[in-house]
């Protein structure tokens, strides 16, 4: 018996865990307020997989669900406190060899909210760069319109092109 490989990602009101077991049978998923337990028999060699996760935060076990496919078992865990980001899936900071972040589905949803826009003021260099970049994009049209962001001299040879100036600006 060994744990199934799993990937997870965070959303505003839920967390998703995908247990990657092909051809799973006898799938059992139990949701508790602070735990998720998974077990199944998988593959052609009928290996018994079992995972138990002490979750980072509480979930609504009555609203949490799972769905089996031929390739995996996807679990939808409804957060007890929607809008609160989970920096990790587990309560403990320990690295589990069978668990990884699903970067294909990950979204930094915290950065998308209107409340977060005010926090960009603390990154003044980023704002200056962003404004400069937008101005540059609006003024694109010729080499003379490109801003000199790197402080380079204007004494460049005549054979330099827009692309080299553009890449140097960043």
- Cα separation, 80 vs 78, in Å, equals 7
To the nearest whole percent, how much of the chain has pLDDT over 90? 58
Q: What pLDDT band is residue 143 in, cutting at 50, 70 and 90?
A: very low
Q: For residue 155, is it within any domain?
A: no
Count structural domains, the chain: 1
Q: Over the stretch 83-140, which tens digit does the pLDDT of each residue have?
A: 999 999 999 999 999 999 999 998 876 555 433 333 333 333 444 444 444 455 555 5
- Cα separation, 170 vs 166, in Å, equals 7
Q: For residue 100, is it within any domain?
A: yes
- Cα separation, 164 vs 91, in Å, equals 48
Q: Please tell me what DSSP assigns to residue 80.
A: S
Q: For residue 15, is it within any domain?
A: yes
Q: For residue 135, is it within any domain?
A: yes
Question: What pLDDT does residue 158 have?
Answer: 47
Structure tokens at 22: 């092909």
Question: What pLDDT does residue 95 have?
Answer: 92
As beta bridge partners, residue 77 has 15
Q: Is there a contact between 16 and 77 (Cβ–Cβ < 8 Å)?
A: yes
Instruction: Quote the pTM value.
Output: 0.65
Nearest to 91 by CA among 61, 136, 59, 123: 59
Length of the chain counted residue by residue:
170
Q: For residue 42, is it within any domain?
A: yes
Please give the residue range of the domain that contains residue 120.
Answer: 6-139
Q: Please tell me what DSSP assigns to residue 155.
A: -
Average pLDDT over residues 65-88: 95
Q: For residue 158, is it within any domain?
A: no
- Cα separation, 106 vs 87, in Å, equals 12
> For residue 51, what is the domain's CATH number?
2.60.40.790
Q: What pLDDT band is residue 44 in, cutting at 50, 70 and 90?
A: confident
Collapsed DSSP state (helix, strand, coil) of residue 59:
strand
Q: For residue 1, is it within any domain?
A: no
Q: For residue 60, is it within any domain?
A: yes
């Amino acid at each position: 018996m060994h744990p199934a490989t799993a990937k997870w990602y965070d959303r505003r009101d839920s967390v998703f865990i995908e247990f990657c077991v092909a051809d799973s049978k006898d799938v059992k998923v139990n949701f508790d307020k602070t735990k998720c337990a998974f077990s199944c028999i998988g593959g052609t060699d009928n290996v018994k997989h079992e995972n138990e996760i002490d979750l980072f935060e509480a979930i609504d076990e009555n609203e949490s669900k799972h769905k089996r496919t031929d390739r995996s078992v996807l679990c939808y865990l409804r957060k007890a406190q929607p809008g609160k980001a989970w920096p990790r899936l587990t309560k403990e900071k320990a690295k589990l060899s069978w668990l990884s972040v699903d970067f294909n589905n990950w979204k930094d949803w915290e950065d998308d909210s209107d409340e977060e826009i005010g926090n960009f003021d603390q990154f003044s260099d980023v704002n200056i760069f962003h404004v400069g970049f937008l101005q540059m994009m609006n003024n694109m049209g010729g080499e003379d319109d490109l801003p000199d962001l790197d402080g380079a001299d204007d004494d460049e040879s005549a054979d330099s092109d827009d692309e080299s100036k553009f890449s140097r600006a960043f």
